[in-house]
């Protein structure tokens, strides 16, 4: 019996390459934003299914998610440091040749998506813009408060180019709550944001939704057109690429050169955590809906997104060069 145990125990230990480890989950977003709320909700289930000693969330805000992503890029590829953020932000930051980017999106290991939801262009009640028609006929720059070079910033650039809108970004805000308040105060015209993040202000008539950045109209907001409906056919391909890119949304990623054994373990266990019935129930109660996708699927999406670089990069470069 003792010999049998000696043969079995090492095999069991090898099943979990992160046994007794503490995992640091880097969240490069605002501490009070939706990404951080999702991370805090999911964290106990990661700890449970990864079967590790502890999972510690570290908020690392800065540079439109780039600071935290850079940190993950340079972390030891041993599975003990992983990231959770908007994957489109990382893709678009690199496409734009942002000088702050020190990572290569093609080299990260993508571990799974927690959720996705369509983005929406909203305008403030004090903007003077009361309809899509007025937006398209605007005879001045559209003032766009932004926290930095994140997915919403880049999406707004692509949208403005597709619709022929002159854009005036105002940088330096601290996360979506800050930019939303700026728009409600009248310090800016509008922003790209998630439906969920803007729902309260929409219901209070502080914000008006004009365009859904999705393949189809959103249930319950049938009067708000999809961007694909209103973009001229000659400019539709970059818009279509950005809509597909936004589908990857809230995802986990690991440093380059993480071993295949650890990557597989993380992908499988993170997916188990995200599909845990108890987490699903908690997500419904917290109004933080899940849309889990396995890391293998997300890795395939990233490879497809990289191929769209030629469509998107020139548009981003033109706008960013004009701001410098």
CATH number at residue 204: 3.40.190.10
162 and 225 part of one domain: yes
| Residue 75 in domain | yes
Domain count, the chain: 2
DSSP β-ladder status, 207-213 and 119-124: antiparallel
**Strand, coil or helix: what is 310?**
helix
Q: Answer whether residue 318 is part of any domain.
A: no
Phi, psi of 100 (to 5 degrees): -80, -20
Identify whether residues 138 and 186 lie together within a single domain.
yes
Cα 319 from Cα 324, distance rounded (Å): 9
Q: Looking at the domain assignment, is residue 314 inside a domain? A: no
Identify whether residues 151 and 228 lie together within a single domain: yes
In this prediction, residue 7 carries a pLDDT of: 46
pLDDT, position 306: 83
- Please indicate, yes or no, whether residues 24 and 81 belong to a single structural domain of this protein: yes
Is 52 domain-assigned?
yes
Pair 110, 127 in one domain: no
pLDDT at 208 over 70: yes
Task: Count the residues in the chain.
Answer: 324
Q: Give the Cα separation of 287 and 124 in Å (integer).
A: 24
At 264 the pLDDT is 97
Same-domain pairing of 112 and 259 = yes
DSSP E strand stretches across 8-78: 22-27, 54-59
Indicate if the alpha-carbon torsion angle 141, 204, 88, 150 is positive or negative. Answer: positive
- What's the pLDDT score for residue 232? 94
Residue 212 belongs to domain spanning? 119-245
Q: Is residue 290 part of a domain?
A: yes
pLDDT band, residue 176 (cuts 50/70/90): confident
pLDDT top residue among 5 and 102: 102
* pLDDT attached to residue 65: 84
Residue at which a domain ends, from 223, 245, 267: 245
pLDDT in tens, 271-304: 999 999 999 999 999 989 999 999 999 998 888 7
Whether residue 5 is contained in a domain is answered as no
Measure the CA angle with vertex 142, ends 235 and 87; round to 5°: 60
Instruction: Note whether 298 and 200 are same-domain residues.
Output: no
Q: Exposed, middle or buried: residue 48 (CB in 10 Å: 0-12, 13-18, 19+)?
A: middle
In-domain check, residue 13: no
pLDDT at 165 over 90: yes
Residue finishing a domain among 198, 223, 245: 245
| Claim to verify: residue 97 and residue 207 sit in the same structural domain | no
Sign of the CA dihedral with 175 first, then 176, 181, and 186 last: positive
Could you tell me how many helices (H) and strands (E) the chain has, helices first? 14, 11
How much is the pTM?
Answer: 0.73
Residues 241 and 124 grouped into a single domain? yes
pLDDT of residue 1: 45
Please, which pLDDT band fits residue 323 given cuts at 50, 70 and 90?
low
The residue-averaged pLDDT of 142-167 equals 89
> Angle 84-321-229 (CA atoms, 0-180°, nearest 5)?
65
Structure tokens given for 131: 């309809």
Residue 195, CA atoms < 13 Å, CB-side half-sphere: 18
Q: What is the mean pLDDT of the chain?
A: 90
Residues 241 and 151 in one domain: yes
Q: Is 130 a residue whose pLDDT tops 90?
A: yes
The domain that holds 89 is classified in CATH as 3.40.190.150
Token reading at 266: 């993380």
Q: Give 72-121 pLDDT, tens digit per residue.
A: 999 999 999 999 998 988 888 888 788 899 999 999 999 999 998 889 99
CA distance 227 to 120: 9
């Amino acid at each position: 019996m003792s010999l049998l145990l000696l043969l079995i125990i090492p095999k069991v230990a090898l099943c979990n390459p992160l046994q007794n480890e503490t995992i640091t989950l880097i969240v490069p977003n605002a501490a009070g934003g939706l990404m951080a709320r999702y991370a805090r909700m999911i964290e106990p289930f990661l700890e449970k299914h990864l079967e590790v000693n502890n999972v510690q969330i570290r908020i690392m805000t800065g540079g439109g998610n780039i600071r935290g992503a850079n940190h993950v890029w340079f972390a030891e590829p041993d599975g003990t440091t992983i990231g959770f953020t908007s994957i489109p932000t990382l893709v678009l930051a690199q496409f734009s040749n942002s000088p702050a980017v020190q990572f290569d999106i093609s080299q990260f290991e993508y571990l799974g998506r927690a959720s996705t939801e369509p983005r929406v262009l909203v305008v403030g009640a004090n903007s003077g813009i009361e309809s899509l028609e007025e937006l398209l006929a605007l005879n001045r720059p559209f003032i766009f408060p932004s926290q930095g070079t994140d997915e919403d910033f880049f999406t707004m650039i692509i949208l403005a180019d597709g619709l022929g809108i002159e854009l005036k970004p105002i940088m330096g805000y601290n996360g979506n709550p800050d930019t939303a308040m700026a728009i409600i105060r009248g310090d800016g015209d509008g922003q790209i944001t998630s439906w969920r993040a803007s729902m309260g202000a929409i219901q209070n008539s502080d914000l008006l939704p004009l365009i859904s950045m999705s393949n189809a109209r959103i249930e319950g907001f049938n009067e708000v057109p999809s961007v694909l409906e209103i973009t001229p056919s000659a400019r539709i391909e970059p818009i279509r690429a950005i809509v597909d890119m936004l589908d990857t949304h809230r995802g986990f990623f690991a440093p380059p050169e993480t071993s295949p054994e650890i990557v597989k373990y993380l992908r499988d266990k993170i997916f188990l955590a995200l599909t845990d019935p108890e987490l699903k129930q908690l997500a419904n109660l917290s109004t933080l809906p899940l849309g889990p996708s396995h890391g293998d699927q997300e890795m395939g999406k990233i490879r497809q997104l990289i191929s769209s670089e030629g469509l998107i990069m020139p548009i981003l470069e033109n706008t960013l060069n004009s701001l410098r």
